[in-house]
Structure 1
Amino acid sequence: MSTAPNRRAVAVILLVPLMVTLALWAFAWPAARIAPRDLPVGVAGAAPAAQQLEQRFEQRGGAFEVHRYDDEAAARTAIEDRVVYGAVVATPQGPHLLTASAASPVVSQLLREAVTASVPKGTPVEVTDVVAAPPGDPRGSALGASVLPLALAGMAAGAVVTLTGLRGARGALTLLAAAALVGLAATAVTHSWLGVIAGDWWTEAGALALTVLAIGSAVAGLGALFGSRGIGLGALLMVLLGNSFSGVTSAPQLLPEPVGAIGQWLPPGAGGSLLRSVAFFDGSAAGGAVWTLSLWSALGLAAVLLARRAPKPAEPTPPPPDREPSLTG
């Protein structure tokens, strides 16, 4: 009796727990270790009071990266430019907290709790949401949930190009067309129907399409280099690690190091950051994400364009027909 089926059964039994463990590590570990790590915040106001606020932030042991501003107007500009997530302004009436729930509702709540805990009990803390999340998604849940469908759409496009053997210009055009259509459809759902993003419609569509193109091109490029194994590697990078390390549901600076930085170098994290920038901040701080997505797209498309179509196996030559011996007179 052949031992091949038994070996396959043992491989499946060992592989399933390994994949579950890897998935739990990728998703549960960062979520269980959420805490501020060099989180950019601002401090503004008169020197003595502002210095006290700055010292209180610095006493948190590397949790915050403090930026000093002269007045409230400068702090607001820094928030709108996505330089800081929020700022505390020292006023004669007490601290005035400026937040941006559109950048991260989780960070806004964290700053509110940190500032309230740092002032004497009973001291009122005025809070102003400078860039508020849209009414259709006040907690940012829908925006955070949009990363996985984009990753799956890119995975599907790259897998189809690989499995159907599309190479060269046909493969590249297929990826471009699929990404463009997904960008239009996703913007119609998130902007026009659900109202969870509120920027320029076509700019948002371009950001979503570029995200899908980067993911799909990376998967197809890996498929062109490694065959069907490249699809599995693409799924590991884009879906398992890219989605869980993206920081879209919280913030990259809240994830354990170096998970937050790695996530921003992968297309799902860069795409989520780009979408926030174009949807709520008029494109501020979008340059890094655009470069990251463009690099993944260019490398993947180059691999698809330069890869040769796998040669078809030669058909076996049929044997010559049997011929009856000729009769001789």
Structure 2
Amino acid sequence: MGRRTLLVTFLAPVLAALALWAFAWPAARTAPRDLPLGVAGAATAADPIARQLAARDGAFEIHRYADEAAARSAIEDRTVYGAVVATQRGPKLLTATAASPVVAQLLEQAVRQQAPQGAPVPTVDVVPAPAADPRGSALGSSVLPMAIAGVAAGALVSLRGLRGLRAAAALVATAVLVGAVAAALTHSWLGVLTGDWWAEAGALALSTLAVSAAVAGFAALLGPAGIGVGGLLMVLLGNPFSGVTSAPHLLPEPVGFLGQLLPPGAGGSLLRSVAFFDGARATAPAVTLGAWAALGLAAVLLGAAARNRRAPGPAAEGRSGVAAAG
């Protein structure tokens, strides 16, 4: 059996194991980890609730608020995923299914478990998910196609031999078109995004550019193997680590943190912010995506410059020809 055959034989199981680890492990270990949760109301009634929730083995990061209005504002600003309001009739739960339907359901279960047996727990959805996507499945399903589109764009630009400024221009133009098409499908047609159309198109375009520029940058520095490196990083790790289908705070550490440093996770967070929360908490993911895009484009330009330096110029070719003739 030749070396190439052995390489293929052993590489496939390794990739399968890596894919199963990346996708199945975070899903199997989903649980709240320092999940930001508000508790509002008078201290005499709210403090016992806060202590009970804080005692759940680091599941929740408790934020205290004076009243329900302050808790609602914190939810709308994406400071917390939800809040428990202590009222004279018992606890009242505020959720935001637009932030994460999975977290909203988890909070309902947690609060009902701590409420007196048989006592009703009224729940108010402060920022509801759109009627066209009440479970957030369409938003969660958008991460992989956008990552694939970015990888494809970066690979095509590299394989077609575009270099330097031409490659950078092609990557930017492609990302803008992908963002517009994706916004037209998700917002205008499906209705699963309900924010400002242009902001959504910009978020989708920036997410695509971050992926495509990174893939093209790896290819410019490493050659064709860079496309594989970029594809594995963005699709095999970025997609399952993104937390878009649940929430970053539900993933095991350091997956939840690392996922937000990769374009799929940052792109999902940015899209959720502009689509449902009027841009609240959009700065960090936008900066992350911008950094990936800038570094990727810089690598594309540096790779082209290095290639030009290595290539013999016309004068050098002329001199070598004369020497050969002599």
Counterpart for residue 285 of structure 1: 281
**Separation of aligned partners in 2, 1:200 and 1:187:** 10
Deviation at 1:13, TM superposition (A): 1.0
What secondary structure is seen at the aligned counterpart in 2 of 1:177?
A: helix
Counterpart check, 1:103 vs 2:115: no
**Separation of aligned partners in 2, 1:177 and 1:58:** 49
Counterpart check, 1:178 vs 2:158: no
Letter of the aligned partner of 2:287 in structure 1?
Answer: W
Letter of the aligned partner of 1:232 in structure 2?
Answer: G
Counterpart for residue 254 of structure 1: 250
What secondary structure is seen at the aligned counterpart in 2 of 1:161?
A: helix
Counterpart for residue 155 of structure 1: 151
Counterpart for residue 89 of structure 2: 93
Deviation at 1:195, TM superposition (A): 0.6
Q: Which of the numbers 31, 41, 44 marks the counterpart of 1:45?
A: 41
Counterpart check, 1:65 vs 2:61: yes
Letter of the aligned partner of 1:16 in structure 2?
Answer: A
**Separation of aligned partners in 1, 2:288 and 2:161:** 27
Counterpart check, 1:75 vs 2:71: yes
Letter of the aligned partner of 1:164 in structure 2?
Answer: R
What secondary structure is seen at the aligned counterpart in 1 of 2:238?
A: helix
Letter of the aligned partner of 1:120 in structure 2?
Answer: P
TM-score (norm 1): 0.92
Deviation at 1:307, TM superposition (A): 2.0
Deviation at 1:263, TM superposition (A): 0.2
**Separation of aligned partners in 2, 1:162 and 1:271:** 23
Counterpart check, 1:206 vs 2:202: yes
Counterpart for residue 138 of structure 1: 134
CA displacement 1:152-179 (0-9 Å, x = unmatched): 0000011111112211110000000110
Letter of the aligned partner of 1:289 in structure 2?
Answer: P
Counterpart for residue 327 of structure 1: none
Counterpart check, 1:227 vs 2:223: yes
CA displacement 1:81-126 (0-9 Å, x = unmatched): 0000000000001111000000000000000000000011111100
Deviation at 1:8, TM superposition (A): 1.5
Gaps spanning 5+ residues in structure 2: where? 322-326
CA displacement 1:252-305 (0-9 Å, x = unmatched): 000000000000000000000000000000000000001000000000001112
Q: Which of the numbers 292, 298, 304 marks the counterpart of 1:296?
A: 292
**Separation of aligned partners in 1, 2:234 and 2:8:** 23
TM-score (norm 2): 0.93
**Separation of aligned partners in 1, 2:120 and 2:229:** 53
Deviation at 1:251, TM superposition (A): 0.3
**Separation of aligned partners in 2, 1:119 and 1:147:** 37
Fraction of identical pairs, as percent:
67
Q: Which has the higher helix share?
A: 2
Q: Which runs of 4+ in 1 moved over 6 A?
A: none
What secondary structure is seen at the aligned counterpart in 1 of 2:18?
A: helix
Counterpart check, 1:194 vs 2:170: no
Deviation at 1:306, TM superposition (A): 2.4
Letter of the aligned partner of 2:187 in structure 1?
Answer: H
Counterpart check, 1:129 vs 2:125: yes
Letter of the aligned partner of 1:22 in structure 2?
Answer: L
Single out whichever of 160-169 and 12-21 deviates more from structure 2: 160-169
**Separation of aligned partners in 2, 1:48 and 1:58:** 16
How many residues end up aligned between the 2 structures?
310
**Separation of aligned partners in 1, 2:106 and 2:299:** 44
Deviation at 1:21, TM superposition (A): 0.3
Query: CA RMSD of the aligned region, Å?
Result: 1.3
**Separation of aligned partners in 2, 1:105 and 1:231:** 35
Q: Which of the numbers 16, 23, 29 marks the counterpart of 1:20?
A: 16
Tell me which structure has the larger Cα radius of gyration: 1
**Separation of aligned partners in 2, 1:266 and 1:163:** 24
